[in-house]
Amino acid sequence: MTITKKQWFYSILTVSALVLVGITLFNFWVDPLLQYRFSSENVPYLKGNNRHLNPGLVEQLEYDTLIMGTSMTKNIRPGDVNRELGGKSINLAMSGSSPWEQSTIINLALQSGKAKTILWGIDPYIYSGSSTGGQENLLSYLITSSPTISDHLKYLINPQVSKLSLKSLFLRDSKKHQRYFDIDQITLTAWRYHYSRQLMLQTWEKRINFTFDEKDYQTQKLRENYLVNIQPILEKNAHIQFVFFFPPYSILAWQDLDDRGWLDRTLNFKHWISEHLLSYSNVSVYDFQNDTEITHNLNNYKDLTHYSGDINRTMVTAIKEGKFRVSKSTRENSAIKKQLASLNIEEFTQPEKVAEKP
């Protein structure tokens, strides 16, 4: 029997439609980005860009405390927060995230009515970026509060989503990938790296941490980003407890900023933002950048700013104990300058001498 061109066309069209329906049903069933459901007994493969995963986590998980920030905050374990501060927490910190990305996810959590406490890391340098976007940006069809049919299809008929769905099925029993099926470890990255004085000094020689353009790192732009993305959340949520903290960059990160001529504007912004935050009765602020036991011990770091997971645990305990809490009477921006003034940088950055064997 001869098949006509018209029959070929309809056959191909039918097969294509069946394939698309199959992909749609498969991705809906696995739901790797948790857009429709979550089961603790059937957690999907969670390795990847958590910017894409966060909207689903906000909607599907049960929590009352949300942890937010950049890579400086990603290694705070929800279990540590639950144990030390109480409640049930999730960590939604995103590497290199902008204030806009962070505030977008926090707004989703606040709209859900679940979040009662926000633990929020403040990295001054990220405020130099766009106030209406981010380094990578969140996917619009995942963060909308009223998804359309088009939004659903962008998710369900998506090659990357299908790839995650397949991994969810075929890697579940792999010991190597077990951490990627653990909801409490989705943001943890510290285990991938080594932390030592030697690595830190290699980074110091290259000075690669602060790569933003100086023209963007201006006081007016830093303040504008805060006023656009952070202040509105505080104004609208007086019933929510906000715990802000400045992560403990190494003292060499501050020396680098000083060498670039950016120290004063950074410290002035820290002082300004602390002053604004402390004007709210439901806000507390902690400054771990003044903890010299951490910041002067180069073995805690892999580069100028990123510290080991143990430091994250130390910070959570300090918040519980009220250490390094900033008040209206204690906030000031001269502590870092005093530390730098007393630092002999040549001696401080000398490699450790290895003892000779007898």
Query: Does residue 6 belong to any structural domain of this protein?
Result: no
Query: Does residue 4 belong to any structural domain of this protein?
Result: no
Query: Does residue 35 belong to any structural domain of this protein?
Result: yes
CB-based contact 326:287 (threshold 8 Å) = yes
Q: What is the pLDDT of residues 60-87, one digit of tens each?
A: 889 999 999 999 999 999 999 999 999 9
**pLDDT band at residue 49 under the 50/70/90 scheme:** confident
**pLDDT band at residue 267 under the 50/70/90 scheme:** very high
Residue with the bigger pLDDT between 34 and 244: it is: 244
Sort strands 241-246 and 283-287 into parallel, antiparallel or unpaired. Answer: parallel
pLDDT recorded at residue 354: 44
Whole-angstrom distance, CA of residue 221 vs CA of residue 79:
36
Whole-angstrom distance, CA of residue 90 vs CA of residue 77:
8
Share of the chain above pLDDT 90, in %: 54
Residue-by-residue DSSP string for 76-144: --HHHHHHHH-S-EEE---TT--HHHHHHHHHHHHHHT--SEEEEE--GGGGGS-SS--SS---HHHH-
Q: Among 125-134, 257-266, 337-346, which is the least confidently predicted range?
A: 125-134
Structure tokens at 264: 């004063």
Specify the 3-state DSSP secondary structure of 208: coil
Residue 225 above 80 pLDDT?
yes
pLDDT recorded at residue 306: 93
Spatial neighbors of 112 by CB under 8 A, at least 6 apart, are 58, 59
Q: Which domain holds residue 155?
A: 31-347
pLDDT recorded at residue 331: 60
Average pLDDT over residues 24-43: 86
Whole-angstrom distance, CA of residue 283 vs CA of residue 296:
28
Nearest of 51, 110, 63 to residue 235 by alpha carbon: 110
Query: Does residue 256 belong to any structural domain of this protein?
Result: yes
**pLDDT band at residue 358 under the 50/70/90 scheme:** very low
Distance of CA 343 to the CA centre of its chain: 31
Query: Does residue 340 belong to any structural domain of this protein?
Result: yes
Mean pLDDT of the chain: 87
**Residue in the structure block whose two tokens are 């979040």:** 115
Residue 46 above 90 pLDDT?
no
Q: Among 14-28, 132-146, 154-168, 272-286, which is the least confidently predicted range?
A: 132-146
Spatial neighbors of 302 by CB under 8 A, at least 6 apart, are 193, 194, 195, 196, 199, 200, 203, 308
Three-class HEC string of 144-183: CCCCCHHHHHHHHCCHHHHHHHHHHHHCCCCHHHHHHHCH
pLDDT recorded at residue 42: 75
- The values of phi and psi at residue 74, to 5°, are -60, -25
Share of the chain above pLDDT 70, in %: 92
Integer angstrom CA distances of residue 10 from 3, 4, 7, 13, 28: 11, 10, 5, 5, 26
Determine if the pTM surpasses 0.85: yes
pLDDT recorded at residue 299: 95
CB-based contact 27:165 (threshold 8 Å) = yes
Query: Does residue 357 belong to any structural domain of this protein?
Result: no
End-to-end CA distance of the chain: 92
Query: Does residue 208 belong to any structural domain of this protein?
Result: yes
Residue 128 above 80 pLDDT?
yes
Whole-angstrom distance, CA of residue 61 vs CA of residue 89:
10
- We report the CATH number of the domain holding residue 35 as 3.40.50.1110
Specify the 3-state DSSP secondary structure of 234: helix
Residue 357 above 50 pLDDT?
no
Whole-angstrom distance, CA of residue 14 vs CA of residue 21:
10
**pLDDT band at residue 251 under the 50/70/90 scheme:** very high
CB-based contact 283:274 (threshold 8 Å) = no
pLDDT recorded at residue 208: 65
Residue 356 above 50 pLDDT?
no
Query: Does residue 46 belong to any structural domain of this protein?
Result: yes
Residue 332 above 70 pLDDT?
no
- Structural domain count, the chain: 1
CB-based contact 91:67 (threshold 8 Å) = yes
Q: Among 148-162, 203-217, 280-294, 339-353, which is the least confidently predicted range?
A: 203-217
Sort strands 241-246 and 89-91 into parallel, antiparallel or unpaired. Answer: unpaired
**Residue in the structure block whose two tokens are 């000075």:** 207
